[in-house]
Amino acid sequence: MESEIITQDDLILALRDNKHAPKWNYSTSDKLTAPMRKEVSQYEKNLRAVKGSPQTWQESLQSSVEKLLGNALDHIIFYQRLKRVRQLLPRCDHLQEFPPISRSDLAKEPWSFVPDNIDYSDMVIYNTTGTTGHPFEVPQHPVSVAMYGSLIKDCLNRWGIKVEFAPDHVAIALVGYQQSTLSFITRLSTFNDGVFVKINVHPVAYADPSYPCHYLREAQPEILTGDPLAFTQLARLFEAYHLERIHPKALISTGIELLPRVREFLQSYFGCPVIDWYSLTETGPIAYACPQGSGYHILPPDIHVEFLDEQGNNVQEGESGEITITGGRNRYFPLIRYRTGDWGRITFEKCACGDPMPRIIDLQGRHPVIFQAKSGEFLNNADVARILRPFPLLIYEFVQERDLSIHVRFDLLPNKPMVDIIPKVRQVLETAFGAGIMIEITQDLSLATRPLQGKIRPFQSHISVLYE
Amino acid sequence: MDALSNLPPEFADPTNKYAEVSNLLPIISDFLADNLQVEDILDLIEGKLAALSPEGRRIFLISIGIIVNGGPLPLLTQAKGFTPKKLAEKVILGTLVKEADSLGKLVPPSQLSGDPDRAEELCRKVARALDLPIEGETAEESKTRLYQLDSVELDKVQQEVERKIQKALEEARAREAASKPSGE
Q: What is the pLDDT of residue B1?
A: 31
Touching check for B154 and chain A: CB below 8 Å?
yes
Taking only the tens of pLDDT, chain A with its 468 residues reads 555 566 678 999 999 999 999 999 999 999 999 999 999 999 999 998 898 888 999 999 999 999 999 999 999 999 988 876 677 899 999 999 999 998 888 988 899 999 999 999 999 999 886 555 577 899 999 999 999 999 999 999 999 999 999 999 999 999 998 888 899 999 999 999 999 999 999 888 899 999 999 999 999 999 999 988 899 889 989 999 999 999 999 999 998 778 788 899 999 999 999 999 999 999 999 999 999 999 999 999 999 999 999 889 999 998 999 999 999 999 999 999 999 989 999 999 999 999 999 999 999 876 667 899 999 888 888 788 888 888 888 778 899 999 999 999 988 876 677 778 999 999 999 999 999 999 999 998 777 655 443 345 678 888 865 454
What secondary structure, in 3-state letters, does chain B show?
CHHHHCCCHHHHCCCCCCCCHHHHHHHHHHHHHHHHCCCCCHHHHHHHHHHCCHHHHHHHHHHHHHHHCCCCCCCHHHCCCCCHHHHHHHHHHHHHHHHHHHHHHHCCHHHHCCCHHHHHHHHHHHHHHCCCCCCCCCHHHHHHHHHHHCHHHHHHHHHHHHHHHHHHHHHHHHCCCCCCCCCC
Nearest alpha-carbon partner for A324 in A333, A336, A332, A311: A336
Touching check for A146 and chain B: CB below 8 Å?
yes
Q: Which residues contact A367 (CB under 8 A, 6 or more apart)?
A: A256, A257
Average pLDDT, chain B: 78
Q: What is the pLDDT of residue B46?
A: 82
Q: What is the DSSP string of A245-265?
A: PP--SEEEE-SS---HHHHHH
Nearest alpha-carbon partner for A1 in A42, A25, A29, A41: A29
Of residues B163 and A86, more confidence is placed in: B163
Polymer length in residues for chain B:
184
What are the angstrom distances between the C-alpha of A432 and each of A318, A371, A424? 44, 11, 13
> Between residues 106 and 145 of chain A, which touch chain B (CB distance below 8 Å)?
110-112, 114, 116, 120, 123-126, 128-129, 137, 139-140, 142, 145
First to last CA, chain B: 61
Tell me how many helices (H) and strands (E) chain A has.
11, 20
* Rounded distance between C-alpha atoms, residue A142 and residue A40, angstroms: 10
Nearest alpha-carbon partner for A437 in A468, A400, A411, A465: A400
In the predicted model, is pLDDT for residue B12 greater than 60?
no
Contact A315, A321 (CB under 8 A): yes
Q: Which helix (H) or strand (E) holds A82?
A: helix A77-82
Our CA-based measurement puts residue A399 at a distance from the nearest CA of chain B, in whole angstroms, of: 22
**Do the chains contact at B184 and A28, CB–CB below 8 Å?**
no
Query: Pseudo-torsion of CA A410, A414, A415, A418, nearest 10°?
Result: 0
Residues in chain A within 8 Å Cβ distance of B182:
148, 152, 172, 174, 225, 252, 254, 277, 279, 285
Nearest alpha-carbon partner for A273 in A156, A173, A182, A367: A156
- What phi, psi does A421 have (nearest 5°)? -65, -45
Nearest alpha-carbon partner for A137 in B113, B171, B133, B161: B171
pLDDT tens column, B62-105: 888 887 776 555 566 666 677 777 877 878 777 888 888 887 77
> Between residues 72 and 111 of chain A, which touch chain B (CB distance below 8 Å)?
77, 80-81, 84-85, 110-111
Residues in chain B within 8 Å Cβ distance of A172:
181-182
**Do the chains contact at B183 and A28, CB–CB below 8 Å?**
no
Contact B128, B119 (CB under 8 A): no
Q: What is the DSSP string of A29-72?
A: -----HHHHHHHHHHHHHHHHHHH-HHHHHHHHHHHHHHHHHHH
Q: What is the pLDDT of residue A321?
A: 93
* Rounded distance between C-alpha atoms, residue A122 and residue B177, angstroms: 10
Q: Which residues contact B113 (CB under 8 A, 6 or more apart)?
A: B7, B9, B11, B12, B62
What are the angstrom distances between the C-alpha of B129 and each of A35, B45, B89, B126? 53, 18, 10, 5
Count CB atoms within 10 A of the CB of residue A131. Answer: 27
Our CA-based measurement puts residue B4 at a distance from the nearest CA of chain A, in whole angstroms, of: 22
Residues in chain B within 8 Å Cβ distance of A191:
181
* Rounded distance between C-alpha atoms, residue B12 and residue B57, angstroms: 10
Our CA-based measurement puts residue B112 at a distance from the nearest CA of chain A, in whole angstroms, of: 9
Q: What is the pLDDT of residue A347?
A: 96
* Rounded distance between C-alpha atoms, residue A13 and residue A26, angstroms: 14
Our CA-based measurement puts residue B118 at a distance from the nearest CA of chain A, in whole angstroms, of: 8
ipTM exceeding the 0.90 mark: no
Contacts 24+ apart (CB under 8 A), A414-417: A414/A108, A416/A392
* Rounded distance between C-alpha atoms, residue B63 and residue B129, angstroms: 15
What are the angstrom distances between the C-alpha of A257 and each of A289, A363, A396, B184? 11, 9, 21, 11
Q: What is the pLDDT of residue B3?
A: 37
Residues in chain A within 8 Å Cβ distance of B166:
111
Q: Which helix (H) or strand (E) holds A433?
A: helix A421-433
* Rounded distance between C-alpha atoms, residue A209 and residue B21, angstroms: 75
* Rounded distance between C-alpha atoms, residue A112 and residue A79, angstroms: 9
Which stretches of A174-328 are DSSP H helices? 211-219, 228-240, 260-270
Q: What is the pLDDT of residue B7?
A: 47
* Rounded distance between C-alpha atoms, residue B106 and residue A335, angstroms: 25
**Do the chains contact at B165 and A227, CB–CB below 8 Å?**
no
Q: What is the pLDDT of residue B29?
A: 80
